[in-house]
Amino acid sequence: MTALNALGGCLADWTALPALSTMLGLPAISLLVLGWGVSSMSLKVVTVAMWGSLRLRRLPVLRAMVVQRARDGANLASTLNISALNLGNAVGAGIGAVAIAHGVPLAHVPILAGTLALVGLTMSGAAVRLKKTFADMAGTNA
């Protein structure tokens, strides 16, 4: 776990937005694999372990991006970053609860969660493109 945190931090220092995309994409893939039915119990355990080890790897990347841009307000920005992550957890849990209440089988909830993670990945890709567009307009490197 510590080694993966260090890897996430190194990726954040190297290329933050592509690292964020990777850190959003890998857990989404593991959730989709789990939801589409892994046939054996040992593969399910491996898939859940993969998801568990990858799900928090985006935190160092997000924290580095936010603190780097916040400059003097780094403490407040870091606090708001964690608050946004907690809000995302609550919204995801709420969406899952509504889905279950409306009859979605429990086995399909990981597909829903993976889809929500892919929405986050899409938003990350849009942020990369938007950053490049603004950098091109300003005449600087992205």
Task: Look at the chain and report how many structural domains it folds into.
Answer: 1
Output the CA–CA distances (angstroms, integers) from residue 108 to 32, 51, 86, in the order listed: 9, 16, 23
**pLDDT confidence of residue 55:** 74
Q: Mean pLDDT throughout 44-73?
A: 80
Residue-range definition of the domain harbouring residue 114: 2-138
The model's pLDDT over 1-46, given as tens digits with 9 standing for 90+, comes to 556 556 656 655 666 767 777 777 888 888 888 877 766 788 788 8
SS3 content of the chain, % helix, strand, coil (to 5): 85, 0, 15
Please, are residues 4 and 54 in contact by the beta-carbon 8 Å criterion? Answer: yes
For residues 23 and 54, the answer to whether their CB atoms sit within 8 Å is: yes
